[in-house]
Amino acid sequence: MSLDQVEKQASDNKLSIDVSRPRVTENGFLAPFTSFESEKAIHEYISQTPVRSTDDHLVEFSEAMRTVAKALRRVAEGKAAAQAEAAEWKRKYELERARNQRYKSEEVASEGCSCCSASSSRQLVVHTETEQAKCCGNHGICSHEVLADEVANPNSDPACKMVARKASFKLSWGCNGNKSGQHKHEVVSFEKGDITTAERSSKQILLKWESPPKTVFIVAKPNSTSVHALCVEMIRWLKEHKKIDVLVEPRVREELLKESFYFDFVQTWQDDEEIKHLHTKVDLVITLGGDGTVLWAASLFKGPVPPVVPFSLGSLGFLTPFQSEHYRESLEAILKGPFSITLRHRLQCHVVRDSAKDELEFEEPILVLNEVTIDRGISSYLTYLECYCDSSFVTCVQGDGLIISTTSGSTAYSLAAGGSMVHPQVPAILFTPICPHSLSFRPLILPEYVALRVQVPFNSRGQAWASFDGKDRKQLSAGDALICSMAPWPVPTACLVDSTTDFLRSIHEGLHWNLRKTQSFDGPRD
């Protein structure tokens, strides 16, 4: 191989030529390098680092930087977790201190408490105009009850004397403050010092009028010709035949007045301030539409809700057992009474921002009849939520979101996400994940008296969004929390037959639950 070929190969391989090797002139003689050319060749050799050596150094450097990034990420996550844990312990401490102070102040008030007694019959009759038994002054509902065990007369016989030696005790129930709205829903009786479960107050409830209803609030589904025609006919019948005042929404009253000035007697409200006191003027609520109309009617009442008579004029019928074709017969029976009702519990939700000084500083509470949904919104990242039940840690939710539902909403979004169908009279809260990242993350059913806290941790990649019965969407940033507990004001809906019959009819007709062809009888037999 000639010298020229060697130089060409070295140039192709991007290798520098040895500075000590002489050059070949045009006449074939060897000529040494000049000092300038030698210095230039040295600089070129220094600047031309082998490619393989460069790649090895870059790989080592990138690995080192990746290790440093992982360490920094772990430090940031640990710091965020420590901050979240410190904030949680601070919250628990403040809540416990406030609870202890509240219990001390309630001990004096509870000494003279006159509480409701459980009825021994299987049906509980609810009167609309009875004296409210006040205990602690919370919402006009007795929220503290003390039941002591029965002490037998020791002078009757020796057997009673032995029973009297048994240690006496008492059980007490109390709401966890005015904000939580947690109340007793089960009565425990005592027989010679033994604890037994008495008749539940939510077995089957009858409503009996002590005075006839005077004002009826009609909530009509908008943009429906059939609903509007039925609303007009029902208003005429209530006014002319039953002498009952009618209240409607401002939109409906405008539509009625466009048709005829005859409907000038129909009442409505002027501003949002009157809506807060709507329950003090209305004796009965009639909804004309589907389940969405019932949800809208319930959202208008921020406190107690009058009895609701839902007529089916929509596509779903889980909450609307009454048929519009027989509205006169149905309303005759309702106005006369008594009739069965279903107490549909609602959730009371508070959004606590990270900038709040304590958990008592929250936004206006929101009441929901179906469910609260927390999802990732438009973010492409999974939701990362920390969930607590009272003071106990539940789990971290990683997935598309979380549903906190009432039993009335168990046949809605929660059922579509894999939750169970629950009878609406069951006092419970449903905890259902939406497309969880872990296959072992299954839905839960929790008791009604717990308070659920869902918080967006500081190390969450994205934000979360909360919607309440499909509306009033709110953004939850890192450090924000959503607290849900059972509201003290349920939605009493009238039953066509009774609570259980209406519920089973709704899942059979609305969902075609377990509908299949009957097995042939001419097959093999034992």
Determine if the pTM surpasses 0.75: no
Q: In sequence order, what are the residues at sequence separation of 6 or more whose Cβ sits closer than 8 angstroms to the Cβ of residue 261?
A: none
Angle at 78 between CA 73 and CA 82, to 5 degrees: 150
Tokens encoding 16: 């520098």
* The one-letter amino acid at 197: T
Q: What are the residue ranges spanned by the domains of the chain? A: 3-49, 113-153+161-181+198-344, 347-486
- Work out the angle between the directed axes of helices 225-241 and 327-336 (0-180°, nearest 10): 40
Give the SS3 label for residue 97: helix
pLDDT above 90 covers what percent of the chain?
44
Q: What is the pLDDT at residue 7? A: 52
Q: Which CATH superfamily is domain 347-486 in?
A: Probable inorganic polyphosphate/atp-NAD kinase; domain 2 (2.60.200.30)
* The one-letter amino acid at 72: L
* Residue 495 and residue 339 in contact, taking contact as beta carbons nearer than 8 Å: yes
Q: In sequence order, what are the residues at sequence separation of 6 or more whose Cβ sits closer than 8 angstroms to the Cβ of residue 21?
A: none
Q: CA dist 462 to 74, 377, 387, 441, 481, Å?
A: 18, 10, 17, 21, 14
Q: Active-site residue numbers?
A: 291
Q: In sequence order, what are the residues at sequence separation of 6 or more whose Cβ sits closer than 8 angstroms to the Cβ of residue 460?
A: 383, 384, 385, 478
What stretches in the chain show pLDDT beneath 70? 1-55, 106-203, 359-361, 523, 526
Calpha distance 451→388 (Å, rounded): 8
Q: What is the pLDDT at residue 48? A: 56
Q: What is the pLDDT at residue 117? A: 39
pLDDT single digits (tens) 265-289: 999 998 888 888 898 899 999 999 9
Q: What is the pLDDT at residue 244? A: 93
> Which residue, 362, 241, 248, is CA-closest to 300?
248
Q: In sequence order, what are the residues at sequence separation of 6 or more whose Cβ sits closer than 8 angstroms to the Cβ of residue 109?
A: 135, 136, 137, 144
Of 1.20.58.100, 3.30.70.890, 3.20.20.140, 3.40.50.10330, the CATH number of 113-153+161-181+198-344 is 3.40.50.10330
Full DSSP string of 436-467: ESSTT---EEEETT--EEEE--TT-SS-EEEE
Tokens encoding 86: 């410190």
